[in-house]
Amino acid sequence: QTVVTQEPSLTVSPGGTVTLTCASSTGAVTSGYYPNWFQQKPGQPPRALIYSTSGKHSWTPARFSGSILGDKAALTLSGVQPEDEAEYYCLLYYGGAQRVFGGGTKLTVL
């Protein structure tokens, strides 16, 4: 069974920079996995932030960016704001019906 791994939790200071990663049990993550990133705040549905590794939706704040770092997909927040405190999930595409979410990273802004 394919497992997608994210850091369970991270803490960042306001104004700081933090990178969240997304690893696959099958090996290196590439752009062919179409990494997606989502933000979810308590009591709300998730919101799409990043598609196809680094694409931004029209509503995605400029401080969010996506990339491939080494063998993982990555989401970097630069100039973190208090409102960025949330759970972040990545999603990888493995072909056909095989798409797997990571376990999520709880980001605390402190």
Contact residue for another protein among 21, 24, 36, 65 (CB under 8 A): 36
Structural contact between residues 21 and 70, judged by C-beta atoms closer than 8 angstroms? no
Q: Pairing relation of β-strands 86-93 and 64-69?
A: unpaired
Per CB under 8 A, 41 contacts another protein = no
Among 23, 91, 107, 109, contact with another protein (rule: CB under 8 A): 91
When asked if residue 66 is in the footprint of another protein (CB under 8 A), the reply is no
Q: Which of 18, 23, 73, 104 binds another protein (CB under 8 A)?
A: 104
* Structural contact between residues 2 and 23, judged by C-beta atoms closer than 8 angstroms: no
Tell me whether strands 72-78 and 4-6 are parallel, antiparallel or unpaired.
unpaired
What's the closest the beta carbon of residue 14 comes to another protein, in angstroms?
A: 26
Closer Cβ to another protein, 5 or 19, answer by number: 5
In this structure, the number of other CB atoms found within 10 A of the CB of residue 57 comes to 11
**Given 51, 61, 67, 76, the residue binding another protein (CB under 8 A):** 51
Task: Count the residues of the shown chain that bind another protein, applying the rule CB under 8 A.
Answer: 25
Q: How far is the CB of 94 from another protein (least distance, A)?
A: 10
Phi, psi of 83 (to 5 degrees): -75, -5
Residues 20/12, Cβ–Cβ less than 8 Å: no
